[in-house]
Amino acid sequence: MRRSVVNRSGLEHGNGGDVTMSLSWIQGQELVRDVRPILEKHDAAALVRHLERYWPADRLVALLGCGDADAEKTALVCLALTGSMAHGSRVVRVLHSSDPAAVGFAEYALWSIWMRAGDDEANASLHAAVQLIGEECFELAVERLTELIARCPRFAEAYNQRAIALFLQGEYAQAAEDCTRTLRFNPYHFGALAGLGHCHAAQGRLEPALDAYRATLQLHPQLEGIRQSLQQIEQGLHKHALAEGPWRFDPS
């Protein structure tokens, strides 16, 4: 049992002056009250201006452990707009949350950060290449992404998107190399890790595929598709351990 005292500010102090009502919890409540009106207006530009002035990204990251679910989700929404690669190591921890909504917000924040990690010109080039991939113009997308990488050799998402385009052309070995390059610059990129697993699996390299899928789930335990792929390979290897000829896995 611990003796506590409530001071005039309403904060509860225990022995040694520890504040048991977290200051970050109070700040989290303040964030929700402050930015909710702007969020309701769906004015992203106004929100960015407000955040840059009053709620810098480092302050938002500090709220991810504040203990208030609404505040943490609001902080993630804001980090999707103003967070940087430096904040990825903290945001990725939310992927382990038992709250599916929090996981979804964290995943969205991470992808948003990764997709705008370059300068304005590089980001525009990346988005144009992503559109080409969506239009199944894979060769042109690879060409544009190669040009982008030449200009911005540390832009992790450029390698990841080129890996996607190469994979969709059946160039699995080259795609795997780009997944590895992505992870060199962004070790928290669960998408690139999953992609690396797909590349290995498509080449029949099942043990490396298992390693990549397991590493993916260590970063993002909620990726059920990856969990199913992992289980499918494990079960297939077990069933075909004594069968003649190699067993192949189709990651599609």
User: pLDDT-derived band of residue 249, with 50, 70 and 90 as boundaries?
Assistant: low
Tokens of 21: 């009502």
The CATH homologous superfamily for domain 120-239 is Tetratricopeptide repeat domain (1.25.40.10)
Mean pLDDT of 93-111: 97
Once rounded to an integer, what is the mean pLDDT over residues 51-61? 97
Instruction: Please name which of 160, 157, 154 lies closest in space to residue 177, comparing C-alpha atoms.
Output: 160
DSSP letters of 136-191?
T-HHHHHHHHHHHHHH-TT-HHHHHHHHHHHHHTT-HHHHHHHHHHHHHH-TT-HH
- What pLDDT, in 10s, does the model give residues 33-54? 999 999 999 999 999 999 999 9
Task: For 200-241, write each residue's pLDDT tens digit.
Answer: 999 999 999 999 999 999 999 999 999 999 999 988 776 665
Q: For residues 245 and 21, which has the higher predicted lDDT (pLDDT)?
A: 245
What's the pLDDT tens digit per position in 181-207? 999 999 999 999 999 999 999 999 999
pTM score of the predicted model: 0.85
CA torsion 226→194→132→149, rounded to 10°? 170
Q: Provide the CB-side half-sphere exposure for 50 (13 A, CA).
A: 13
pLDDT at 10 over 50: no
- Does the pLDDT at position 153 exceed 50? yes
Q: What is the DSSP string of 54-71?
A: H--HHHHHHGGGSS-HHH
CB distance 178 to 160 below 8 Å: yes
**How high is the pLDDT of residue 234?**
87
Check whether 5 has a pLDDT greater than 80.
no
* Segment (H or E) for 96: none
Delimiting residues of CATH 1.25.40.10 domain(s) in the chain: 120-239
1 pLDDT band (50/70/90 cuts)?
A: very low
Provide Rg for the chain, Cα atoms. 22
44-54 helix and 69-82 helix, angle to the nearest 10 degrees: 100
Q: What is the pLDDT of residue 142?
A: 99
Nearest alpha-carbon partner for 110 in 179, 165, 162, 156: 156
For residues 7-33, average pLDDT: 62
Report the DSSP beta bridge partners of residue 115.
none
| Euclidean distance between CA atoms 14 and 43, whole angstroms | 43
Mean pLDDT (the chain, rounded): 89
For the residues 129-145, what does the mean pLDDT come to? 99
| The pLDDT of residue 127 | 99
Residues 151-164 have a mean pLDDT of: 99
Structure tokens belonging to residue 89: 């190591």
Confidence of residue 245 (pLDDT cuts 50, 70, 90): low
Residue 6 pLDDT greater than 70, yes or no? no
